[in-house]
Amino acid sequence: MPRIAMVCDFFYPRIGGVENHIYSLSLNLIRLGHKVIIITHAYGNRKGVRYLPGPLKVYYCPILPMTDQDAMPTFIATFPLLRHIFIRERIDIVHAHQATSTMANESIVYAAALRIASVYTDHSLFGFDDLASTILNRVLQTTLSTVDAAIGVSHVCHDNLILRARLDPNRVFVIPNAVDPSKFSPDPSQRRRDRLVYRKGIDLLVGIIPKVCSELKHVHFLVGGDGPKLLDLQEMVERDRLQDRVEFLGSVPHANVRNVLVRGDIFLNCSLTESFCIAILEAACCGLLVVSTNVGGVPEVLPDDMIMLSDPTVESMVTCVREAVQADRTDAVAHIQHQRIRDVYTWERVAEETILVYKKVLCQHRRGFLERMSCYQSLNGITGFVVCCLALIVEIWVRIVEWWQPIHQIDRVPDLSTRVQSNGVQHLN
């Protein structure tokens, strides 16, 4: 069974879609018999090795986060530590996540230098014409020139990744995200008629709420979340005197999201861009009818009877909300919807499809130094030349580190034996 190292700057205690994806995928890979570890940087006092239920080993490396919990790009400074971890855990595959993660990008380069198979999963969409995207795409093109396989969480993400990083389409796969259905079960008894729950796209929402409230007198809004745009919403509520129609819940911990969702009938998603949008999946799993903007990978997530798509304009969204409110859905529909999502969007499926990708990359030939140089040179122009020089520096550094910390002096960590309880949870003996 291949041994996998998930590498990303973004992991617990930070909460988010990428973090949940890494954790859920790792747990299910462990349940299927694989050895999985997670490598991330330290969060505050959380440094060293921690164990999460699974048991899932997490290395909180003493690497300095620079901005927004993203590590400072050091180019070669983290190599000795990561190499040490890869060797002591006998890692066969490095699975990196997220384009904006410095550790993920660096780990792919290190894996290629150490002749370890590498896989990359992209979770976000990026454009092509603004400066930040141009720079990020160039970095991604550089690091992914030696990756063995890439995964997108939706077909839009797949196409976007191929165009941004100029990858061979035969090496890019689509494995959609999933949801834990046991945590998002419907409860129609909690509903008070016609409550909408929203997420993101505040500028649209500021226009939608007053129009919907004036047209549909029995509709109430539940607003969960926090951020700088909350002030715009609160000002709108004050201005239009909608205090009895709009309820602000503030920041909702992820553990309480289900309890908020089940209070609603319709989930309103006004996002202006989404690669997959797991929020609408969670809402649909709780039995809500979803009204969403038709952006990014959203149309791929749910079938037509579970979601109503609209253009990202106020008028279209209001029309869609009106139709959703008038839709006649019984409580039984919520349970049927939950069951359908439970059957399709499971983390077991994601893990099995990811294992197929792992098997494919393990069969591939590992690139030597000259092959990697030719990959970097294919970037063309000044970039190709500069990256080749950097690759040479990395190679020299690899030799120095191998002399400084010989492989035979690194202890291999024995695998801890575990016992599996009747509910499928593994425990250490």
Partner 1 sequence: MEASNLFLIAALLVAVACGNSQPPTQDRSTKVRQRIADSFLLSFALRFASSFLQSLTASYSSDTVHRLAILGMLWHVLTCDYSYANGCVKTGLINGSRPIFGGGTFSLNAALFSTTLLVSRIYDNQTVFLFISLSVVVFAFYSTTRHEMAKTHPAHSSVAPWLITVFIIMATLCLILDDLSLATTFLLCSLILGGVCPFWKHSLQHFQVLIKGPWDVAQIVPLV
Q: Furthest-apart CA pair in the chain: how many Å?
A: 75
Binding mask 146-175 for partner 1 (x = CB under 8 A): ----------xx-xx--x------------
In single-letter form, the type of residue at position 316 comes to: S
Residue 317 burial class via C-beta count within 10 angstroms: exposed 0-12, middle 13-18, buried 19 and up: buried
* CB of 166 or CB of 367, closer to partner 1: 166
Q: Is 246 in the site for partner 1 (CB under 8 A)?
A: no
One of 172, 277, 314, 387 touching partner 1 (CB under 8 A): 314
117-122, strands of its sheet edge to edge: 48-52, 56-61, 35-41, 3-7, 93-97, 117-122, 149-152, 172-174
Binding mask 224-243 for partner 1 (x = CB under 8 A): ------------x-------
Structural tokens at position 372? 């990697």
One of 11, 60, 86, 126 touching partner 1 (CB under 8 A): 126
Closest CA to 177 of 31, 54, 349, 337: 349
Residues in the chain: 429
Q: Is 269 in the site for partner 1 (CB under 8 A)?
A: no
* CB of 236 or CB of 413, closer to partner 1: 236
**61 close to 40: Cβ distance less than 8 angstroms:** yes
* CB of 112 or CB of 279, closer to partner 1: 279
Q: Is 40 in the site for partner 1 (CB under 8 A)?
A: no
Query: Which residue spans within 23-147 are E strands per DSSP?
Result: 35-41, 48-52, 56-61, 65-67, 70-71, 93-97, 117-122
One of 55, 80, 312, 384 touching partner 1 (CB under 8 A): 312
Q: Is 383 in the site for partner 1 (CB under 8 A)?
A: no
The residue range among 30-38, 167-175, 216-224, 270-278 that interacts with partner 1, by the rule CB under 8 A, is 270-278
Q: Which long-range contacts (CB under 8 A, 24 or more apart) does 422-428 make?
A: 424/31, 425/53, 426/30, 426/31, 426/54, 426/55, 427/55, 428/51, 428/55
Q: Is 353 in the site for partner 1 (CB under 8 A)?
A: no
> Interface residues for partner 1 in 206-225 (CB under 8 A)?
206-207
The least CB distance from residue 358 to partner 1, in Å, is 27
The least CB distance from residue 335 to partner 1, in Å, is 32
Closest CA to 4 of 47, 51, 56: 56
Phi-psi region of 55 (alpha: psi -120 to 50; beta: other; left: phi over 0): beta
Centre a 10 Å sphere on the Cβ of residue 351 and count the other Cβ atoms it contains. Answer: 22
Q: Is 117 in the site for partner 1 (CB under 8 A)?
A: no
Q: Is 272 in the site for partner 1 (CB under 8 A)?
A: yes
Q: Is 310 in the site for partner 1 (CB under 8 A)?
A: no
| β 35-41/3-7 pair status | parallel
* CB of 55 or CB of 207, closer to partner 1: 207
The residue range among 78-86, 90-98, 140-148, 306-314 that interacts with partner 1, by the rule CB under 8 A, is 306-314
* CB of 229 or CB of 349, closer to partner 1: 229
One of 273, 292, 337, 354 touching partner 1 (CB under 8 A): 273
- Spell out the residues 6+ positions from residue 54 whose beta carbon is closer than 8 angstroms to its own: 26, 27, 30, 36, 426
Q: Is 381 in the site for partner 1 (CB under 8 A)?
A: no
**311 close to 287: Cβ distance less than 8 angstroms:** no
Tokens 């941004």 belong to residue: 164
The least CB distance from residue 248 to partner 1, in Å, is 18
Interface residues with partner 1 (CB under 8 A) are 125-129, 156-157, 159-160, 163, 203-204, 206-207, 236, 272-273, 275, 293, 295-297, 312-314
